[in-house]
Amino acid sequence: MIFKCIIIGDGFIKNLAMRYCVIPAKAGIQYFKRIMDSRFRGNDEFGPDFGITNYVILFLLLILAAIQPAWSEDFPRSGWSDRPDSLAAPTAKPGGEISIFGGQYPKSINYYIDNNTLAAEISGAFFETLLTMNPITLEYEPGLAEKWAISDDKKTFTFFINSKACWSDSTPVTAQDVRWTYDAIMNPNNMTGPHKANMERFEPPQVIDEKTIRFTAKEIHWKNLMAAGDFYILCKHAYEKQDFNKINFEFPVVSGPYQPGKIDEGVSISINRRKDWWNKDAKRYQHKGNFDAITYKFFAERTNAFEAFKKGGIDVYPVYTSRIWIDETNSDAFLKNHIIKQKIFNHKPVGFQGFAMNIRKPPFDDIRVRQAVTLMLDRRKMNQTLMYSQYFLHRSYFEDLYTDAQPCPNPIVDMEKTKARELLKNSGWKVNPKTGFLEKNGEKFSFRFLSNDSSSDKFLAIYAEDLKDVGIELIIDKKDWASWARDMDEYNYQMTWAAWSSGVFKDPETMWSSKEADRKGGNNITGFKNQKIDELIEKQKVIFDINERNDIFRQMDQILFQEYPYVLLWNIDYTRLLYWNKFGTPPTVLSKYGDESSALTYWWMDLDAQAALTDAVNMKMPLPPRPASVKFDEMFGK
């Protein structure tokens, strides 16, 4: 096994250390014994002037070599160089502003205590990770760390922070910042939920020096490098004296390309591009992050946001409602191409959505009940009558792991009231002839559906009517996003609508592991526990081949499907996008694996297009069309 020693001293000793810097540890000790024997025989390898002090230092160097981790390779690999992002358009220019719909006003934009897409997006603009990932190859590239090393046993990861990396107050980013962020995540008093699951893989990281931090994993896991290298590093001296659970909207010190701008509570949050970002001159960041300001605007309902969009109050509107896509995009603004309507097909991983059931307590702790309420959802009717058959029906928790050549074995679940009644009867529920509702042990079968968006009302109305037909009462418990999120952190719900994104590198542990079921604020919101799933999760940890891991996830999928933790719903495998025709975009419009948020990285304000749009609106004239459908694989590189 090869070890690297720490180089100490100067002059001859330093040269000696460099000469024997990489040695086999056992061989090094044997070599030291040999040269000492040689010295006592009068045949000194280093000559008579090589004093006993230098021999002691040599011995210490060998001891240091023996205790250092064994590096298999340094990164980035030889041949890597800082190159322009092939997705970024060379014609993109910085400047201008863009406003987008941010959903309902969040409880926080601190990703560590509000685990959602918006918080991740904004936190990622403010703060950086030790490593980044190439948007095409998905290979790791330097972030805050300019280089890193991995031990032979794949358990030790050392990161060397770029000497230029600094905070917005001009102080350097240090290894102490990394260690403090780790400690903040792991603090049991902090509501950092699923982030703890990633960090608890490691012993507390070791600060080697001001710019070097070392993570040692407790066990081998394919995700260890991602976990250590891909979490946002916060500034210790700016936040260490604050209550971490109350760091929600104020971030005075950042390291990333954007910093906080104006916040209009309940209405909007703006972030501003930093002209003094320490890494702005790197080639891979040229022609990206072009907007001087990005404003997230918040509305209680999507329909209100769409009305604001049509009036020009929002620039970009991703469509998640089929009625809007089909019925509300036929006005002059769309027909004259003032507003662009596009379907974007890329390699974005497909997540899943469904009605999550809290199986920690009755009635959904009974699998027969979960299956019964699943059989009571008429998805085909909803898709045809409410969504214009725009969606495919879920039959998997890992939809994008299946292809025509490798089809999903799970069947489509259709409504079956007769079977649902039988399951409910077998689980002890009987109809009270006086009320028409099911009862068990003198209690009526009634549950509350925790909702945060009235756009779900029309679906729930159909579902409630069908449930009532078999004797179940569904009560909608409507709350705003912040209140909904607080209830979900405490698992204070019975059923709710949950939509989950996915990733290329899937890690099911935080959502499906039994040990995550009782962690507050986590992703295992259903409280799912299953020994076979736990075994498969453990098995995939040591598999570094993504195809082999995906085989395991397909096995997991069949088990999950049969356990009914969610009433699975529907999805689409492309992005429906509306935007005002004043932006420059790359030929692919969005990135290879990204959703609409990648527009914030790759788009820019096209001043000529903006002027043309203004003239066209004023003169009620049409603009040239853009493609109605864009396929990444056809457009990349053009």
Distance CA(354)–CA(398), nearest Å, equals: 13
Q: What is the pLDDT of residue 482?
A: 87
235 φψ region: left (φ > 0), alpha (ψ -120 to 50), beta (else): beta
For residue 46, pLDDT beyond 60 = no
pLDDT band with cut points at 50, 70 and 90 for residue 637? confident
41 pLDDT band (50/70/90 cuts)?
A: low
pLDDT score at 42: 55
Q: Which domains does the chain have, with CATH numbers?
A: 2-68 (no CATH), 97-246 (3.90.76.10), 299-345+578-635 (no CATH), 352-571 (3.10.105.10)
Tens of pLDDT, residues 446-505: 999 999 988 899 999 999 999 999 999 999 999 998 899 999 999 999 999 999 999 999
> Under a CB-based contact definition with an 8 Å cutoff, are residues 45 and 35 in contact?
yes
Q: Which of 368, 364, 343, 535 is nearest to 448 (CA)?
A: 364
Residue 247 has pLDDT above 50, yes or no: yes
Residue 193 has a pLDDT of 87
**Amino acid found at 515:** K
Three-state DSSP state, 7: coil
Q: Are strands 145-151 and 71-75 parallel, antiparallel or unpaired?
A: antiparallel
Task: Output the 3-class SS for 300-359.
Answer: CCHHHHHHHHHCCCCCEEECCCHHHHHHCCCCHHHHCCCEEEEEEECCCCCCEEEEEECC
Helix, strand or coil, per DSSP, at residue 422: helix
Q: Which of these ranges, 46-60, 378-392, 617-631, has the smallest mean pLDDT?
A: 46-60
Higher pLDDT, 481 or 415: 415
DSSP designation for 512: H
What length is written for the chain? Answer: 638
Grade residue 58 by pLDDT with cuts at 50, 70 and 90.
low
pLDDT number for residue 57? 57
pLDDT at 375 exceeding the cut of 50:
yes
Taking only the tens place, the pLDDT of each residue in 416-454 is 999 999 999 999 999 999 999 999 999 999 999 999 988
Report whether pLDDT(400) > 90. yes
DSSP 8-state code for residue 411: P
pLDDT for 582 equals: 98
Q: How many CB atoms lie within 10 A of CB 165?
A: 22
pLDDT mean over 285-290: 98
The residues near 135 (Cβ < 8 Å, ≥ 6 apart) are 85, 87, 591, 592, 593, 594
d(CA 368, CA 338): 53
pLDDT of residue 80: 94
Per-residue pLDDT at 242 exceeds 80: yes
24, pLDDT greater than 70: no
Lowest-confidence segment of 481-485, 534-538, 584-588 by average pLDDT: 481-485
pLDDT at 194: 86
Mean pLDDT of the chain: 91
- Confidence band of 37 (pLDDT split at 50, 70, 90): low
Predicted confidence band at 35 (pLDDT cuts at 50, 70, 90)?
A: low
Residue 74: band (very low, low, confident or very high) from pLDDT cuts 50, 70, 90: confident
User: Which of 211, 210, 215 has its CA nearest to residue 225?
Assistant: 215
In angstroms, the first-to-last Cα distance of the chain is 48
Quote the CA–CA distance of 182 and 161 in Å, as a whole number. 16
pLDDT for position 268: 98
Residue 125, CA distances (Å) to 167, 258, 395 in order: 13, 5, 35
Give the integer Cα–Cα distance in Å for 360 and 491.
Answer: 9
More confident: 99 or 73: 99
Peptide bond into 565 cis (omega under 30): no
